[in-house]
């Protein structure tokens, strides 16, 4: 996976972003075959080339990356089953600057061009990421400190750097686009108060599990529980699905290209983080830690799948308009169920990739059909925080 964008003599190739037609020609060529890259250089594709465009894109090229490419990126990365060392190398090649993302036009569009319904919808999505990136940065320290090996340590160091960059990106978006000044100290309480009940409950459990780990440093079972909730549930299901939905939605409209760029870069980072989590959990399962992971998933997956379920049974918003990027929940109870179905499919696939057996996967999926009681009894807006 890491070497597929190389020429025969090993030199890296970085063609411009391809059109759909040219892309199809490449995709139809044989695996590992020599292909003529249109007016560009001849190269050898050494793996699933669908990850190629986003893999190699610089920040200013990201708005031009095809939406299908972005949607499939994480799956393409995970298909290679990368280990911590390979992910570290990938990180070295995929640097970007949160300071360089141009947000000026987004601020103008947000204030003057956007319909109120869209602004409200996106505000809520942005708030989940303001909280999510900050808590990710804060909670990753104990996970890094208790990791089992040197390659884990090196990779998790890169993830700390990524989460720091993501937190800076979200603080800028909150300030320069949403108009919430005062830095994280002012942005976080506002964002937290806007989170859906399931997201709050997951955040609270996640923080407790990581605290438990920091009280028992080096405890491998507790470390795996922390990775299960952090890398599998929060990042692998919620963050990745949220980023993907947002970028695809913004791809259908001509504004908020700064936000789209920042989220595309974050999604690429997230694919590495989730790749690491899958690697660690696959190893944990093979080492006999099935029950520790399974018990926690039984509790967390039903919450994650019902992330858009509001205590009112889904809000009563108008149906989705074509010119409005969807939030994760396309609107109302029906939208929440669409999200749940998408997340159930994603969870099932990931559980199998880790190595859970059919009976365990079926049991967890059965649990995910019911809305957890904690969500049906919580008042709107939640009281869990
Ligand atoms: Fe992040
Ligand atoms: Fe992440």
Q: Report how far ligand 2's centroid is from the alpha carbon of 266 (Å).
A: 8
φ/ψ of 6, rounded to 5, equals -120, 155
* C-alpha 351 – ligand 1 centre gap (Å): 22
Architecture of the structural domain at 96-377:
Orthogonal Bundle (1.10)
Q: How far, CA to CA in Å, does 335 sit from each of 157, 170, 316, 331, 377?
A: 37, 25, 10, 5, 20
pLDDT of residue 52: 66
Mean pLDDT of the chain: 83
Query: pLDDT-based confidence at 333, cuts 50/70/90?
Result: confident
Q: Where are the domains of the chain?
A: 5-75, 96-377
Task: Kindly report, residue by residue over 55-101, the tens digit of the pLDDT.
Answer: 989 999 998 899 989 999 999 999 999 999 999 999 999 999 999 99
Indicate which ligand has the atom closest to the C-alpha of 163.
1
C-alpha 236 to ligand 1 mean position (Å) = 11
pLDDT in tens, 251-265: 888 889 999 999 999
Ligand nearest to the CA of 231: 2
Residue 301 CB partners (closer than 8 Å, separation 6+): 233, 347, 364, 367, 368
> pLDDT tens-digit profile of 289-300?
999 999 999 999
Q: How far apart are the C-alpha atoms of 103 and 224, rounded to whole Å? A: 38
For residue 167, which ligand has an atom nearest its CA?
A: 1
> Is 26 or 221 the better-scoring residue by pLDDT?
221
C-alpha of residue 7 to centroid of ligand 2, in Å? 31
Span from the CA of 155 to the centroid of ligand 2 (angstroms): 12
Q: Is the pLDDT reported for residue 178 higher than 50? A: yes
Tell whether the model's pLDDT for residue 312 goes beyond 60.
no
CA angle 240, 378, 312 (to 5 degrees): 80
- Tell me how far the alpha carbon of residue 232 lies from the centroid of ligand 1, in angstroms: 13
Which residues have CB less than 5 Å away from ligand 1 (the ion)?
133, 163, 166
Angle subtended at Cα 359 by Cα 357 and Cα 360, rounded to the nearest 5 degrees: 70
- CA 85 / ligand 2 centre spacing (Å): 17
How far is ligand 1, taken at its centre, from the CA of residue 172, in Å?
A: 14
Asked whether the predicted pLDDT for residue 317 surpasses 80, the reply is: no
To the nearest 10°, report the CA torsion of 159, 162, 163, 167: 180
Two tokens, residue 176: 């320069």
């Amino acid at each position: 996976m890491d070497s597929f964008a190389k020429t025969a003599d090993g030199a890296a190739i970085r063609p411009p972003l391809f059109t759909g037609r040219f892309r199809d020609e490449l995709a139809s060529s044989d695996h590992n075959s020599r292909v003529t890259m249109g007016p560009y250089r001849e190269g050898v594709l050494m793996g699933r080339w669908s990850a190629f465009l986003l893999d190699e894109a610089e920040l200013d090229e990201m708005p031009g990356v095809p939406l299908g490419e972005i949607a499939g990126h994480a799956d393409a990365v995970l298909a290679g089953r990368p280990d911590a060392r390979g992910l570290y190398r990938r990180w070295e090649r995929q640097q970007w600057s949160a300071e360089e993302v141009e947000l000026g036009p987004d601020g103008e569009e947000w204030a003057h061009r956007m319909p109120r319904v869209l602004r409200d919808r996106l505000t809520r999505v942005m708030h989940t990421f303001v909280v999510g990136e900050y808590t990710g940065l804060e909670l990753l320290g104990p996970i890094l400190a208790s990791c089992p090996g040197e390659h884990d340590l090196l990779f998790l160091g890169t993830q700390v750097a990524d989460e720091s960059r993501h937190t800076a990106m979200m603080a800028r978006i909150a300030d320069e686009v949403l108009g919430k000044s005062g830095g994280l100290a002012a942005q976080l309480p506002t964002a937290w108060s806007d989170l859906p009940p399931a997201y709050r409950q997951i955040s609270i459990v996640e923080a407790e599990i990581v605290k438990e780990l920091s009280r028992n440093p080096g405890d491998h079972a507790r470390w795996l529980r922390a990775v299960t909730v952090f890398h599998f549930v929060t990042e692998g299901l919620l963050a990745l699905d949220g980023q993907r939905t947002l970028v695809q939605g913004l791809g259908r409209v001509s504004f908020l290209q700064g936000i789209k760029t920042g989220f595309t870069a974050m999604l690429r980072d997230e694919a590495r983080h989730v790749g690491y989590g899958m690697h660690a959990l696959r190893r944990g399962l093979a080492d006999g830690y099935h029950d520790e992971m399974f018990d926690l998933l039984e509790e967390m997956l039903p919450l994650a799948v019902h992330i858009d379920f509001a205590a009112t049974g889904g809000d009563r918003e108008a149906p989705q308009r074509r010119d409005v990027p969807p939030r994760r929940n396309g609107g109302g109870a029906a939208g929440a169920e669409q999200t749940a179905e998408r997340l159930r499919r994603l969870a099932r696939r990931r559980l199998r990739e880790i190595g859970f057996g059919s009976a365990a996967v079926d049991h967890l999926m059965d649990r995910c059909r019911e809305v957890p009681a904690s969500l049906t009894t919580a008042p709107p807006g939640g009281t869990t925080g």
